[in-house]
Amino acid sequence: MVAMAVVASQQFMCFSESNWRIRTKPCFPLPHFNTVLLRSRNKIQLPLISCSSSSQTPQTDTQTAESCVNLGLQLFSKGRVKDALTQFETAITLNPNPVEAQAAFYNKACCHAYRGEGKKAADCLRTALREYNLKFGTILNDPDLASFRALPEFKELQEEAELGGQDIGSSFRRDLKLISEVQAPFRGIRRFFYVAFTAAAGISLLFTLPRLFVAIQGGDGAPGLSETAGNAAINIGGIVVFVALFLWENKKEEEQIAQISRDETLSRLPLRLSTNRIVELVQLRDTVRPVIIAGKKETVTMALRRAERFRTDLVRRGVLLVPVIWGESGETKFEKKGFGLQPKAAEALPSIGEDFEKRTQSVTAQSKLKAEVRFKAEVVSPAEWERWIRDQQKSEGVPVGEDVYIILRLDGRVRRSGRGIPDWEQIAKELPPMEAILSKLER
């Protein structure tokens, strides 16, 4: 995530190279943002560079890679992307250390992504990944790169990073089970008892079976057949019941993990707003209630036309129409090639903004987004949207490819879904206005 860089002074104006930290800032073009602490050895504290509103680019007395990165970040935050790009390019030519180089290439990629230059953005990120140990999770989590993630160049870069041994998001997948356990905290305890009771019943059965054989053969001293057979039946029945409960818990966990995975995928799906800005659904969280309308072109067109009759009521309730027409997606083919880490990358180099929760918080600049959100948005990467909708249809037992609508909550989760064309009048009655208490609770 593009972040503002400042130099933090320590005792006697000295800096420790081991204390580099790169943190996130809110999504451009917010007026307030966090800082990136860029520290280097034997450098005095640099003052914050204020950006003028004129077209002339501010200059410092002595240019260094660090000062250029700082200035570029300031310019980017002011919306002067072209000037910021120049500063990042200059920083690269001033013999930057690994951290400065990583920041310069990464932020240069963000500028190219903002300008819609996907190939140039991919080349910058490829260099940062290959030579300066940028973590791929940073690219996945940065809202400034939302438009880039919707391009074929991102998928190509993702394939290269995976083949090169980079973690391209599997860490989140590994954490799905932990998230599931948090949502169902007593599942582990129940399964423990199921295993314990199954083991107890099995041990009891081991002692009961020889007695059952003796009872069947009969003779002096043989135990009663009915009583022994009853005990064996109880043990066998207990084993069957507890094993079935254990398997049922496992199935419920798999379903829950699949739902969590779908929710994460949904939050990352990109949209193009009426201002031509590309955002992910997570950036609209707490701001709108997206209503996804998926189906044949005739069905989607009719649904949108009917929605216009209730436009005022739906807008008051934060409804954002997201039309998805079956068959309008296209898959881009590209050559798979990997890359490894080059020697000049710093071993302990930190990466920029890897925390997904911080990303979610940083993109809730509602005052900016509300000004850009209108009644309808356009999907980006239709293939990804179709794939998610079809997975959702399978999970709900709906025939894949059927015309459906899906209403989301303000927090991004699925509220409900249905087949065919939505009943907009009913939806307007069902959803509370954005200023209502119920809407605030939904957030």
Tokens found for residue 115: 């300008």
Its pTM stands at 0.56
95: left (phi over 0), alpha (psi -120 to 50) or beta: left
Supply the pLDDT for residue 181.
67
What DSSP character marks residue 48? P
In a structure prediction context, what are the per-residue pLDDT tens digits for the chain, which is 443 residues long? 444 333 333 333 333 332 333 333 333 333 333 333 343 333 323 333 333 333 344 444 588 999 999 999 999 888 888 999 999 999 999 989 999 999 999 999 999 988 888 899 999 999 998 888 888 878 877 878 878 887 888 888 888 877 766 655 555 555 566 666 667 788 888 999 999 999 999 999 999 998 888 888 877 777 888 888 899 999 999 999 999 999 999 888 888 888 887 887 888 888 888 877 888 888 888 889 999 999 999 999 999 999 999 999 999 999 999 999 998 765 544 444 555 545 444 443 444 444 444 444 444 344 455 555 678 999 888 888 998 999 889 888 888 889 999 999 998 888 999 999 999 999 999 999 998 888 888 87
Three-state secondary-structure class, residue 278: strand
Burial pattern 173-198, b for ≥16 Cβ within 10 A else e, equals eeebeebbeeeeeebeeebeebeebb
| Rounded to 5°, angle at Cα 369 from 363 and 372 | 150
Supply the pLDDT for residue 226.
87
Residue 371: how many CA atoms within 13 Å on its side-chain side?
5
Three-state secondary-structure class, residue 404: strand
Tokens found for residue 223: 């135990």
**Which residue, 247, 239, 234, 251, is CA-closest to 196?**
239
Give residues with Cβ within 8 angstroms of 155, minimum separation 6. 332, 334
Rounded Cα gap, residues 230 and 208, in angstroms: 10
Burial pattern 404-439, b for ≥16 Cβ within 10 A else e, equals bbbbbbbebebbebeeebbebeebbeebbebeeeeb
**Which residue, 324, 319, 280, 284, is CA-closest to 300?**
324
Supply the pLDDT for residue 103.
92
Supply the pLDDT for residue 332.
44
Tokens found for residue 11: 């005792």
Supply the pLDDT for residue 320.
93
Supply the pLDDT for residue 25.
38
Supply the pLDDT for residue 164.
67
Supply the pLDDT for residue 373.
65
Q: Are 137 and 354 in contact (CB under 8 A)?
A: yes
Question: To 10 degrees, what angle do helices 81-92 and 65-77 make?
Answer: 170
Supply the pLDDT for residue 57.
45
Rounded Cα gap, residues 182 and 201, in angstroms: 30
Rounded Cα gap, residues 90 and 11, in angstroms: 30
Rounded Cα gap, residues 268 and 140, in angstroms: 9
| Rounded to 5°, angle at Cα 267 from 264 and 272 | 150
